[in-house]
Homo-oligomer: A and B are copies of this chain.
């Protein structure tokens, strides 16, 4: 016997297949499961199955939701003339926490990345163009991350939006509020000077 019982080995394999979980961590997680009560274990398993079965993408903005159309897209209180394009569902939460933005969103579920073979067909660009064509959209804010792939994705999409005669903007770059100039990198400092505003 140089292995744990097969059902336990199987569970360790499943945990080890999760991103960022190595063999040792997987073992620890499996032992943790064994140490829990039957009820706790069943509710963990149920949580996995029901998240998968009830969460899907909003048919409009592609954000994660349990409904056909998500609460933000359904809301009467949101400004429907403006769409903020983000790469991931968690980015929507970040903006919502800020309580400043009151428009709609569009979640791409990724960014263009030739290195990882992610092309325009692999992220939700087509769905954005459909909205640009149909809805009362006046402005699209590109809010992908300020890294190479995020920039390239923003540029690519902004070109596709040209024919729709919609204003396309990009989030401002600059010094983060509350940070220290000493720790700002050169690229950020240069962008902050370029984008300076009159006081």
Residue ranges of A at the interface with B (Cβ–Cβ < 8 Å): 1-8, 10-11, 13-14, 18-21, 25, 27-34, 36, 38, 41-55, 64-66, 70-72, 89-90, 92-93, 96-97
Contact = CB atoms under 8 A, between A and B. Distances in A.
A46 B70 CA distance: 30
Given A5-B55, A48-B44, A25 B33 contact: no
Contact of A97 (B2, B32, B53, B93): B2
Nearest to A109: B35
B97 A11 contact: no
22 contacts: A1-B71, A1-B72, A1-B92, A1-B96, A2-B93, A4-B64, A4-B89, A5-B55, A5-B65, A7-B50, A10-B50, A14-B47, A19-B28, A19-B29, A20-B28, A31-B89, A34-B51, A34-B52, A38-B52, A38-B53, A42-B49, A45-B49
Contacts of A71: 1
Nearest to A12: B51
B48 A8 contact: no
B6 A48 contact: no
B97 A14 contact: no
